[in-house]
Amino acid sequence: MEMQQIFVTRPSMPPYEEYVKMIEPLWESHILTNMGKYHCELEDRLKEYLDVPQLSLMVNGHMALELVIQAFCFPKDAEIITTPFTFVSTTHAIARNQLKPVFCDVKEADGTIDENRIEDLITCKTVAIVPVHVYGHVCNISAIQRIAEKHGLKVIYDAAHAFGVRYRGKGIGCYGDASIFSFHATKVFNTIEGGAVSFAEKELYDRLYNLKNFGIRGEELVAEIGTNAKMNEFSAAMGLCNLKYIQTAIEQRKRGYDLYKRMLTGLKGIRFLNGSSEATGNYGYFPIVVEEEYGESRDALYDRLRKNGIHCRKYFYPLVCDQECFAEQYRTTELTVARRLAQNILTLPLYEGMGEDVIERIVKQCLRAGERK
Ligand code: T4K
């Protein structure tokens, strides 16, 4: 019998009939995009679910970040302090705005930006901080806010991984000047491709609207130079269907996450990253750190799992600053922890509806190399 292949994630999908029923009216209306009915409905529903004051829906998480950075109109060549331990999109969004990323080290415990190292990197050119709630782990929001206020900087959170996370009783998108979310197929909540920006300042809504719709304000009026980053009706319909099941999706992920933790706890050389105790989790990822005492390198474990049909990911290796497109282009900073983490990190498969037997199969492979403490 052929071995079942397991991938790092598997998109959540609503019941087929529900989606088909949802998209059927599109054959009547023929309105397929450009802020249609489902687009507006999803924008409202997400504002409510994410518990944020303002929200603008986008075609994907990347454009959400690229456009919100653009919306703040920072001077060209200004510097933005960010993390190298992220998906390349975070840095691309900064660089594509002709701004300079300055990479700050991260923390061993959760992989988020090390707030104690930010101030040393601030120069007269610094305009903003773009931290990432990596794996849905919440950054040290109060410390970052204090630094930003002291130096007059904007804070734009890359919350691509943090859908539905609540911190100190509020939606995660309420913090900082803005946050972006990703609704990509591989995320906790998906619209196939999609994303959003959340923010407090009302005026930002019009600005983002212009940027995502060519700056069009009327049939004969283009008010500014924008691009096209609108979400279409098929994606919005997928979002409306998936949103109905989000609670179950997160609960199922939590069950998988807890089972992994129970079964791997005590395995020599395997360390977990922990999110803040003041935040709720969305269990989007299950990263482990493979340390020396494990007796096998992260890469060897990755290869062995792969040979056994288990396709993990080294999220996030190599560090973004070491990628060919960025290497040696920006100011060098000390990134000891980030380098070590990137070298040892492995994200194990986790998704909605993942069977216990699948997790047991993965854990069995991990146990083969490690020794119980
Ligand atoms: N900021 C951060 C911190 C991010 O992590 C991301 C995206 C962004 C910003 C930008 O948001 P978006 O513009 O993407 O909305 C994946 C995702 O494509 C990406 O969304 C995500 N982060 C990143 C962490 O992971 P890849 O290159 O690893 O994806 P891929 O296609 O190799 O998929 C991984 C596995 O998932 C596959 O082995 C199989 C499975 N899969 C994938 C897709 C696309 C499926 O089963 N079905 C599918 O449709 O980047």
- Among 33, 20, 15, which residue's Cα sits nearest to residue 231? 33
Predicted TM-score (pTM) of the model is 0.97
CB of 13 sitting under 6 A from ligand 1: no
Q: What are the backbone angles phi and psi of residue 5, rounded to the nearest 5°?
A: -85, 135
Asked whether 145 lines ligand 1 (CB < 6 A), one says: no
C-alpha distances out from residue 348 to 6, 192, 357, Å: 10, 22, 15
- Report the separation in Å between the CA atom of 161 and the middle of ligand 1, taken as the mean of its atom positions: 11
Is 26 in a helix, a strand, or coil?
Answer: helix
Order of all β-strands in the sheet with 345-348: 270-272, 286-290, 345-348
CB 106 within 8 A of CB 57: no
Alpha helices in 76-172 (DSSP H): 88-95, 118-121, 141-151
Q: What is the reported pLDDT for 323?
A: 94
Q: Would you say the CB of residue 195 lies under 6 angstroms from ligand 1?
A: yes
* Helix extents (H) in 52-174: 61-71, 88-95, 118-121, 141-151
Q: How far is CA 230 from the centre of its chain?
A: 19
Predicted local distance difference test score (pLDDT) of residue 373: 55
For residues 190 and 162, is the Cβ–Cβ distance under 8 A? no
Report which ligand 1 atom has the smallest distance to the Cα of 182.
15
Tens digit of each residue's pLDDT, the chain (373 residues): 788 999 999 999 999 999 999 999 999 999 999 999 999 999 999 999 999 999 999 999 999 999 999 999 999 999 999 999 999 999 999 999 999 999 999 999 999 999 999 999 999 999 999 999 999 999 999 999 999 999 999 999 999 999 999 999 999 999 999 999 999 999 999 999 999 999 999 999 999 999 999 999 999 999 999 999 999 999 999 999 999 999 999 999 999 999 999 999 999 999 999 999 999 999 999 999 999 999 999 999 999 999 999 999 999 999 999 999 998 889 888 999 999 999 999 999 999 999 999 999 999 999 977 766 5
Predicted local confidence at residue 2, as pLDDT: 85
Give the whole-angstrom CA distance, residue 55 versus residue 209: 11
- The two most distant CA atoms of the chain are separated, in Å, by 71
Ligand 1 centroid to 9 CA: how many Å? 9
Q: Judge whether 31 and 58 are in contact, CB under 8 Å.
A: no
At 21, is the secondary structure helix, strand, or coil?
A: helix
What pLDDT, on a 0 to 100 scale, did the predictor assign at position 372?
63
Ligand 1 neighbour 85 (Cβ under 6 A): no
Contact 196, 220 (CB under 8 A): no
Is residue 185 lining ligand 1, measured as CB closer than 6 Å?
yes
CB 179 within 8 A of CB 159: yes
**Other C-beta atoms lying within 10 Å of the C-beta of residue 176:** 24
